[in-house]
Amino acid sequence: MIEKNQMDSLFTQARQAAEKAYAPYSKFRVGAALLCEDGTVVTGVNVENRSFGLTVCAERNTLCTAIAQGKLSFLALAISTPDSIEPVGPCGACRQVMGEFMAADTPVLFGGSGQNRVNSTVGELLPLDSLHELKK
Ligand code: THU
């Protein structure tokens, strides 16, 4: 069970990571912070390209970085979109990748620059995912 202050701290790290986003085309920075089972936090950002379709979202970059570091088990994910006031949820592709590596009950917190934050889970964001169903 992740404490609220731990999620808040994870969100702060996502917000700090967003400063490093490479988003010259959309000007929409995204930062993500992933709490691994070993207590370490891996962060990542969106990285755009002038060939727009090559852009990779912050959430997927973060998960791929963590996997490359040998992490395979994750406790929580926070996502910051400081260029929107309201929270912006992860895209469908990122939800699918989350479903590959994170259990359905894993908390996912996301928020923009305003006060509103959404406390969700991987299972809520990607319902009826076959991997989750098989794990039951
Ligand atoms: N973006 C993310 O990093 N994560 C999402 O889940 C949604 C979209 C990025 C992609 C692009 O660089 C910018 O936000 C605008 O779509």
For residue range 24-39, list pLDDT tens digits in order.
Answer: 999 999 999 999 999 9
Active site residue 133: no
- Is residue 79 in contact with ligand 1, taking CB distance under 6 Å? no
Residue nearest ligand 1's atom 14 by CA:
28
pLDDT at 31: 99
Question: In which band, very low, low, confident or very high, does the pLDDT at 13 lie, cut at 50, 70 and 90?
Answer: very high
* From 48, 59, 86, 100, the catalytic residue: 59
SS (H, E, C) the chain: CCCHHHHHHHHHHHHHHHCCCECCCCCCCCEEEEEECCCCEEEEECECCCCHHHCECHHHHHHHHHHHCCCCCEEEEEEECCCCCCCCCCCHHHHHHHHHHCCCCCEEEEECCCCCEEEEEHHHHCCCCHHHHHHC
pTM of the predicted protein model: 0.96
Question: In which band, very low, low, confident or very high, does the pLDDT at 71 lie, cut at 50, 70 and 90?
Answer: very high
- Average pLDDT of the segment spanning 62-89: 98
